[in-house]
Structure 1
């Protein structure tokens, strides 16, 4: 394998015939240039230049090698240009892993916009319910909720506040809760893993209330199924306010906020991608997402640890019903490693 610095040194002397002029043109010390040529000759096993008067002239081997040297340097320059073009070109395949709750409501419209803007890009959208354990370096993950440490850059786009929702028909049949303690008397739609340790509701005046939801007859592990069950009048549950608003816009009258003023812990919306310089297709997509952040995501953050310490209500529990619990499994595959 040839050293490009040595090849550049040799090519410069071949053009000028002078070690001094070549060193000045390359911005090198004369001794450095001489050493590089000597190293190249040692690597090749024969002399390439000979001194005659005040000039350096090529030997027969020098003449032969110079043509190959020129080709190697040209290819090196072309490869650098090609790599720079690739870095700047918005094209190729781009994989995006996305929390299923954010896919139809927000990401899909942005993806269509990106594809219209950059026809050379092919998108692979991968909805999932659990975050990828080790996301691919040349991909993007858009997530709702807390994330484990992945070793990738973690950028928070915003926060989704959450509240209690039910269908108006459900509330007309079972009554409207007046206080979080009333929730133990209602059908609870459980999102698996979300309420195992109980739910903390926050109120600006009344502080915090912690309760254990009643045993649920319907447990799901997809936000979409969870929200749909609530919107169909199967019971009460916690939904991000922004997602509830999107559903209410599409299907007016399907959801009603319960216990106004009480809210659950806000969830972060995050981007995961590799550290360092990004390929143009990734940086362009990240820029598009940042420009499309809804205003509703930017108004809040998580409940502070300090405010948690002011919790003012005790836990409440409920006995499980005798009816058989129904469990619905996810039809969307988990993100691949």
Structure 2
């Protein structure tokens, strides 16, 4: 009979190729990790690892044994999940990933309210500036287009954008009265926000293709962009819902111009893995759906992305 801790230590070393990295992943001292590897090799009856230069790699026996170790550990994880489903409690580790614009404020309160209901849950929050490739043991909330991903997608709502500037900037440079006047103003933009041309929309006048001037300032966070606009660095497109929340906390820091014109709408998307989700993930998704703000226009749901209720399973994945 193999010791699961020894199998976990072996798999970690093969994956990282390094004892130091494996100790960080497992939260173990290097001496403990080395002892578990040594004990496993004694149980197996032959060496499993080779040291090549600065990297540790499996030998022929190690490569064969590694595949079976993964299967064993996966079965153990599935067994634990199945047992968890029999409990009323939501427990375990929940990995949450969130676009940087939502982490402060709304999302943190969603997480706090969920954790207050589930005292034995351990939660990790990752701030995202680019879309993750995976969302194991959790979910991701993203603002903007997602494109093709390996994750299931559910659009929770849409954020309209408006053009904003600071009162000081408008006093010094004038307030644009038409979209055509925007081209002569400085611009504080988001890194990777799009092309040099965007379409503004008006309910009666239709679309206006706006060729943006050279950006005076380009940043990679909406919070920093808001700071730059408030400081008078230029005008910028911002999600109206986020801008209004900021203005409630910092009145008169900036104001909207051309209020009847809107920039490209940004979808707010929930992403999560395919297949049967652990109870804690399904419970968080259900909780999240009850916390969608009214200001997210449309509050769209995609029927194809429905997550099973707690305690039920789909007939297929």
**TM interval, short-chain normalised:** 0.5 to 0.7
Supply the distance in 1 between the matched residues of 2:104 and 2:95 (Cα, whole angstroms): 16
Aligned runs of 1:107-126 on 2, under 5 Å? Answer: 107-126=107-126
What is the deviation of 1:170?
1.1
What is the deviation of 1:226?
1.0
Pairing 1:131–2:116 present: no
SS of aligned partner of 1:164: strand
Q: Which residue of 1 aligns with 2:57?
A: none
SS of aligned partner of 2:264: strand
Runs of 4+ displaced beyond 4 Å: 79-83
- TM-score by structure 1 length? 0.62
Q: Which residue of 2 aligns with 1:262?
A: 261
Aligned runs of 1:284-323 on 2, under 5 Å? Answer: 284-299=283-298
Supply the distance in 2 between the matched residues of 1:273 and 1:82 (Cα, whole angstroms): 20
What is the deviation of 1:175?
0.5
Q: What per-residue deviation string (whole Å, max 9, x for no partner) do you get for residues 239-295 of structure 1?
A: 000000110011111121110110011111011112233211111111111001011
CA contact (8 A) 1:161 1:300 kept: no
Aligned runs of 1:31-180 on 2, under 5 Å? Answer: 83-87=81-85, 88=87, 89-132=89-132, 134-180=133-179
Q: What is the number of equivalent residue pairs in this alignment?
A: 222
Supply the distance in 2 between the matched residues of 1:80 and 1:187 (Cα, whole angstroms): 56
Q: What per-residue deviation string (whole Å, max 9, x for no partner) do you get for residues 13-36 of structure 1?
A: xxxxxxxxxxxxxxxxxxxxxxxx
SS of aligned partner of 2:189: strand
CA contact (8 A) 1:159 1:269 kept: yes
Larger Rg computed on CA atoms: 1
SS of aligned partner of 1:158: strand
What is the deviation of 1:80?
10
Q: Which residue of 1 aligns with 2:188?
A: 189
Q: Which residue of 2 aligns with 1:332?
A: none
User: Structure 1: 5+ residue runs without aligned partners?
Assistant: 1-78, 302-337
User: Structure 2: 5+ residue runs without aligned partners?
Assistant: 1-76, 301-317
